[in-house]
Amino acid sequence: MRRLVVFNNVSMDGYFTGPGGDFSWAHTGYDDPEFSAFVAANAQGEGQLLFGRITYELMAGYWPTPVAIQNDPVVAEGMNRMRKTVFSRTLKQASWSNTELLSGDPALEARRMKSETGPDMVILGSGSIIARLAPEGLVDEYQLVVNPVVLGKGRTMFDGVTKKLAMKLTQSQTFRNGKVFLRYEPVR
């Protein structure tokens, strides 16, 4: 069975996007060689990326561009090469390379995809998808990079989740830039 992993940056007060969808606060700390190596190693992984429409449009608008390829060639290569699935009822086409568009219920689609053979899947951003899949027990692991910033308001990955989701910490790593990587698994 394929695993489904969430990977997101969060602020100290638990937001994965700031007001108006601002995410610029997460693009700091790359002067830390250890953190830069961590990011590059993650980008070289195999798997399939899952997105909601908003995150897909942000990613598809950046990673295939010459600017992304010049500024961060390792991450851009990985993002453009990997298989991608976007969940949307409003998007009419997905033009980014290797992308499949699904308009059905994300929980039903994720359950079907997990039962198939293939690489593990990773959700980046896409809080509405996470909030839909997490209570269904479909997420196998949560990987968070806690950033040393307080946003005061924004969106959490779990907006709309109404039941307790207990987690156990399985790994942590602290970087010199103040960011902390945390890996959690649901307690089932």
Phi, psi of 43 (to 5 degrees): -70, -20
Tokens of 184: 């959690």
Segment 110-128 shows an average pLDDT of 94
Write down the CATH number for the domain with range 4-161.
Answer: 3.40.430.10
Q: State mean pLDDT over 86-103.
A: 95
Q: pLDDT higher for 181 or 188?
A: 181
Domain ranges of the chain: 4-161
**pLDDT at res. 44:** 67
Distance of CA 176 to the CA centre of its chain: 23
| CA separation for the pair 26, 68 (Å, rounded) | 16
pLDDT at 148 over 90: yes
- Residues 39-84 pLDDT 10s: 878 766 678 999 999 999 999 999 999 999 998 888 899 899 999 9
Q: What is the pLDDT of residue 173?
A: 97
Q: Return the HEC string of the chain.
A: CCCEEEEEEEECCCCCECHHHCCHHHCCCCCCHHHHHHHHHHHCCCCEEEEEHHHHHHHHCCCCCHHHHHHCHHHHHHHHHCEEEEECCCCCCCCCCCEEEECCCHHHHHHHHHHCCCCCEEEECCHHHHHHHHHHCCCCEEEEEEECCCCCCCECCCCCCCCCCCEEEEEEEECCCCCEEEEEEECC
Burial class (CB in 10 A: 0-12, 13-18, 19+), 114: middle
10 Å CB burial of residue 145 (0-12, 13-18, 19+) is buried
Better pLDDT: 72 or 126: 126
Higher model confidence: residue 110 or residue 1? 110
The per-residue pLDDT for range 3-45, each reduced to its tens digit, is: 999 999 999 999 999 999 899 999 888 889 999 888 878 766 6
